Amino acid sequence: MQKRRVVVTGIGAVTPLGNDARTSWEKATSGISGVGRVTRLNADDFPAKVAAEVKEFNIEQFIEKKEARKMDRFTHYAVAASLMAVKDAGLDINEDNAGRVGVWIGSGIGGMETFEQQHETFMKRGYRRVSPFFVPMMIPDMAAGQVSITLGARGFNSCTVTACATGTNSIGDAFKVIQRGDADAMVTGGAEAPITKMSFAGFCANTALSTNEDPEKASRPFDKNRDGFVMGEGSGIVVLEELEHAIARGANIYAEIVGYGATGDAYHITAPAPEGEGGARAMKMALDDGGLSPEDVGYINAHGTSTGYNDKYETMAIKSVFVQHAYKLAVSSTKSMTGHLLGAAGGIEAIFTALTLKEGILPPTINYETPDPDCDLDYVPNEARRVQVEAAISNSLGFGGHNATLAFRKYNG
């Protein structure tokens, strides 16, 4: 049976760069950092002092205050980004098509903020004062659940939790739902609100976060002086749609999603497999799934976390898959500007990859100052570049050895 073709018809985002996808993209292509001194907690209590926080976001612009109070902040971001994505797609979800429109939105850690607040209440005042909404606010699948309720989307509904690969796995899984005929459209991506005392403490304890106190310089993927990632928050959501369905209603098409690869390292709970072996297999799987040769790809939106092992091993993985062509394609990490949105990272990076194909602009890797001999590819240093590319991939790699890659083609009608 011939695979159904799937395209991206809507984008929505809440990020440290802006509270919509277009603003986030314009700032990313302008090389603007969304990182600042952390304000959601007392920076003096931690060795890491900076974070990429969402700014001036008001959920009441999207839903009523009464409903918002029943949701954790990660769900706020997901609901807002989803409403923007569906509006951008011009997709009318109604009684006739609701069963063919699904939602697949993941979160790496879910409602950590709610958990901490309710635990404090329990310890001080007992179980009777714990909110009856505690569990449904905290669990990671509630972003997908609340988006489904808000939109009235009754089709395939699921949630992926694969740490920092969550957003990419979610989109890839949703892509397959449409491709095999189980839905005509999917609202999909990731959402995260991890800037809380306990999650910040946890990542500080395992020395994953940058201790660079200069906010604009702290996230520096592939640079020799990188010292850890910068925690970010927000949501990136896309509307995926079966091609003929999109054409029939005159939808704007950003790009075609053609391939998906997902693998496991089976190696270590936090460290990537040596030489990025698992990530390399995910990239190759996505290329094979999409009928692409390595030479077809002109751009890679890298996982590029600004940590020592990740950037080195991802570079090695790219070279193992693309061989000599690795030195001819462009690789950039938009985490240099957004910080690392954990489970939401793959969502916003899929949006950036689709816009790269649509608009012919490669977003840069900012703060690239000192080359690392182990990282010797073209990382689009510091300034965006106008280049038309026909195909691109986006990588995400997560704790637990989860690797995921999405492959996109430019849509030429």
177 with 66, same domain: the answer is yes
50 with 157, same domain: the answer is yes
Question: Considering the entire predicted model, what is its pTM?
Answer: 0.98
At residue 1, the pLDDT reads 65
Taking the CA atoms of residue 306, residue 193, residue 214 and residue 272 in that order, the dihedral angle to the nearest 10 degrees is -20
Cα-based angle 389, 390, 395 (whole degrees, multiple of 5): 80
244 with 262, same domain: the answer is no
At residue 13, the pLDDT reads 98
266 with 390, same domain: the answer is yes
Supply 106's token pair. Answer: 């993941």
Residue 279, pLDDT > 90, answer: yes
Q: What is the pLDDT of residues 167-190, one digit of tens each?
A: 999 999 999 999 999 999 999 999
140 and 109 in contact (C-beta within 8 Å)? yes
Average pLDDT, stretch 361-384?
98
| Structural domain ending residue among the three candidates 196, 215, 248 | 248
| Structural domain ending residue among the three candidates 212, 228, 248 | 248
Residues 82 and 74: their CA atoms lie apart, in Å, by: 12
Q: Helix 197-205 to helix 112-125 angle, to the nearest 10 degrees?
A: 110
Q: What is the pLDDT of residues 216-253, one digit of tens each?
A: 999 999 999 999 999 999 999 999 999 999 999 999 99
220 with 265, same domain: the answer is no
Q: Say how many residues make up the chain.
A: 413
CATH number, domain with residue 302: 3.40.47.10
Q: Which domain holds residue 180?
A: 7-248
181 with 214, same domain: the answer is yes
Could you tell me if residue 65 is inside a domain?
yes
Q: Say how many domains are in the chain.
A: 2
Q: Residue with structure tokens 């009928």?
A: 291
Residues 21 and 254: their CA atoms lie apart, in Å, by: 13
In percent, the amount of the chain with pLDDT more than 90 equals: 99
Helix locations, 13-128, DSSP H: 21-29, 65-68, 73-89, 112-125
Average pLDDT, stretch 49-54?
98
Could you tell me if residue 253 is inside a domain?
no
Could you tell me if residue 2 is inside a domain?
no
Q: Is 375 a residue of the active site?
A: no
Residue 365, pLDDT > 90, answer: yes
Confidence of residue 413 (pLDDT cuts 50, 70, 90): confident
Residue 296, pLDDT > 80, answer: yes
Mean pLDDT, the chain, rounded, equals 97
Residue 137, pLDDT > 90, answer: yes
At residue 2, the pLDDT reads 80
Catalytic residue, from 159, 164, 204, 375: name it: 164
| One-letter amino acid for residue 26 of the chain | E
